[in-house]
Structure 1
Amino acid sequence: MQLDETDSQLLSLLGENARAPVATLARKLGLARTTVQARIERLETSGAIAGYTLRLGDAARPRLRATALISIELRAGPTVLDRLKSLPAVESVHTCSGRFDLIVQLAADSTAELDDTLDNIGEAKGVKSSESLIHLSTKLDRPRG
């Protein structure tokens, strides 16, 4: 099927908002509503429009989660904790035994925010080293009842 200029404009408008009312599309194209409806049906039948989809906005996207394992210098705990408290992406901080001193749970709205937070942790005074683990998928989540 060969698309004409009107079809291209219609597809562009549908690309911006696939839920736009046919009357609105018709007004923008300067055509009758029935003409636009017939064009949409023809584009669907021919396969030019394969379907419609949903694009989630930032408010509906799940937050990125990560765990940072931190080694700190001797007696630097209060300084590091103050720094961690100042970072909005830090949800919780736990002391732990083993190779690391702190376990930090993080949640961010974007990879850029997560990256900045991890940089801020690594650059904090009193932090010797850190390792980050990005959460990919949840296999088990037992809420307390």
Structure 2
Amino acid sequence: MAVDALDTRILRLLIEQPRTSVREYARILGIARGTLQARLERMERDGVITGTGPVLSPAALGHPVLAFVHIEVTQGRLDEVGDALAAVPEIVEAFSITGGGDLLTRVVARDNGHLEDIVQRLIRMPGVVRTRTEMALRERVPHRLLPLVEAVGRAAGLRAESSR
């Protein structure tokens, strides 16, 4: 899906001012509310916008420990183990990967002992061969998408100029 300069401006507003109304976004952008609504619906349909809920802090929810657990899986059991991971509430993300392991999970815990309990639970899952855990010490770049949105918007602008 091509994101143009207006889409980029819309996405920037959604990121920077997530609690603003559609009417106010349209006013800020200087476009009709219907135009904005159509663009939002298209970006949702195309999978550019995937959610609108609040961003929560695991640390503020009592889980300040962050670790990445690599999981090696018995051949042929990747889907089964992936499904089992969904039953562990402290696993906030899981990805199939290449390289040293089959799955990479992002795990939050109350403390180091709780993290060990979670890892032990993972090790006991049928199909898990071994795990390797790496603890995060400090977040250096928080999750962000605005720089990517802006880069995509600049590239779209350059493509539009070169096609004139």
Q: Which amino acid aligns with 1:85?
A: A
Deviation digits for residues 25-74 of structure 1, max 9, x if unmatched? xxxxxxxxxxxxxxxxxxxxxxxxxxxxxxxxx95766110000111001
- Equivalent in the alignment of 1:49: none
Alpha-carbon distance in structure 2 between the residues aligned to 1:60 and 1:82: 24
Q: CA deviation at 1:77?
A: 1.2
More contact order relative to length (CA 8 Å, sep ≥ 6): 2
Identity %: 18
- Equivalent in the alignment of 2:39: none
5+ unaligned residues in a row in structure 2: which ranges?
Answer: 1-58, 147-164
Deviation digits for residues 97-130 of structure 1, max 9, x if unmatched? 1121110001112223211111111111101111
5+ unaligned residues in a row in structure 1: which ranges?
Answer: 1-57
3-state secondary structure, aligned to 2:122: helix
Cα separation, partners in 2 of 1:60 and 1:97, compared to 1, 3 Å: closer
- Equivalent in the alignment of 1:132: 133
Cα separation, partners in 2 of 1:142 and 1:125, compared to 1, 3 Å: closer
4+ residue stretches of structure 1 with deviation over 4 A? Answer: 58-62
Cα separation, partners in 2 of 1:97 and 1:109, compared to 1, 3 Å: same
RMSD: 2.0
Q: Which amino acid aligns with 1:118?
A: V
- Equivalent in the alignment of 1:122: 123
- Equivalent in the alignment of 2:92: 91
What does 1:67-106 align with in structure 2 at a 5 Å threshold? 67-106=68-107
- Equivalent in the alignment of 2:113: 112
Alpha-carbon distance in structure 2 between the residues aligned to 1:83 and 1:142: 26
- Determine which structure has more spread, i.e. the larger CA radius of gyration: 1
Alpha-carbon distance in structure 2 between the residues aligned to 1:128 and 1:139: 31
Alpha-carbon distance in structure 1 between the residues aligned to 2:75 and 2:145: 35
Cα separation, partners in 2 of 1:116 and 1:143, compared to 1, 3 Å: same
- TM-score of the two chains, using structure 1 as the length reference: 0.55
Does the 8 Å CA contact 1:89/1:114 hold for their aligned counterparts? no
Aligned residue pair count: 88
Q: CA deviation at 1:92?
A: 0.6
Does the 8 Å CA contact 1:71/1:127 hold for their aligned counterparts? yes
- TM-score of the two chains, using structure 2 as the length reference: 0.49
3-state secondary structure, aligned to 1:140: coil
